Amino acid sequence: MKQYKKILACYDSSVNSSRAIKHAVSLARTYDAKLYIIYVVEKTHPVNFLDRKEYLKLVKDFGKKILKRKVQSIKNNEQITAEPILKQGNVADEIIKFAKNERCDLIVVGSKGFGVMLRFFLGSVSNKLATYGKTPVLIIK
């Protein structure tokens, strides 16, 4: 029996999340697993400095762009097809929900990322993933 059939890697373009992607790609190749790469547009973050709709559109466009780039670079450099996933909501909740719905065997996430301010508001996403949900979590430092 394959230990990992579906791997969900969290990506936000930070150095830590790029390292997480590297591990996820190695595991997906080694276990011949399906690889998803997820970016979540944080909706619960309080926004004062911009119109809320405008802000969400900006972040959504950013997410689409970095996912597209990362999936392309994995295809070019690693010959692996990853599926990009864009969600909106609370980051940890959306990751846990997707992993559950798609029956992922493993979540791979960087220990930092999402920016200092955002982490201040959100708490550590990796800690939440480690504590809640049923899916094994690999935390990359």
Contact indicator for 107, 130 with CB cutoff of 8 Å? no
Q: Least Å distance between CB 15 and a copy of itself?
A: 14
Q: Taking contact as CB under 8 A, which single stretch among the options 74-82, 83-91, 115-123, 126-134 is the one that binds a copy of itself?
A: 126-134
Residue that has been written with the tokens 């999402």 in this structure:
114
Place of tokens 């990796």: 126
Q: Hey, which bits of the chain come out as E strands?
A: 6-10, 34-42, 82-89, 106-110, 137-140
The site map against a copy of itself for 4-23 (x = CB under 8 A) is ------------------xx
- The window from 41-49, 55-63, 69-77, 120-128 that contacts a copy of itself (CB under 8 A) reads 120-128
Q: With contact defined as beta carbons under 8 Å apart, do 91 and 57 qualify?
A: no
Q: Which residues between 25 and 64 bind a copy of itself (CB under 8 A)?
A: 26-27, 30-31
The type of residue at 17 is S
- CA proximity to 6, closest of 27, 74, 79: 27
Nearest in space to 79 (alpha carbons), one of 25, 139, 116, 19: 25
Under the criterion CB under 8 A, does residue 103 sit at the interface with a copy of itself? Answer: no
- Selected binder of a copy of itself within 35, 37, 41, 135 (CB under 8 A): 135
Size of the site for a copy of itself (CB under 8 A): 22
Site residues, a copy of itself (CB under 8 A):
3, 22-23, 26-27, 30-31, 111, 124, 126-127, 130-131, 133-141
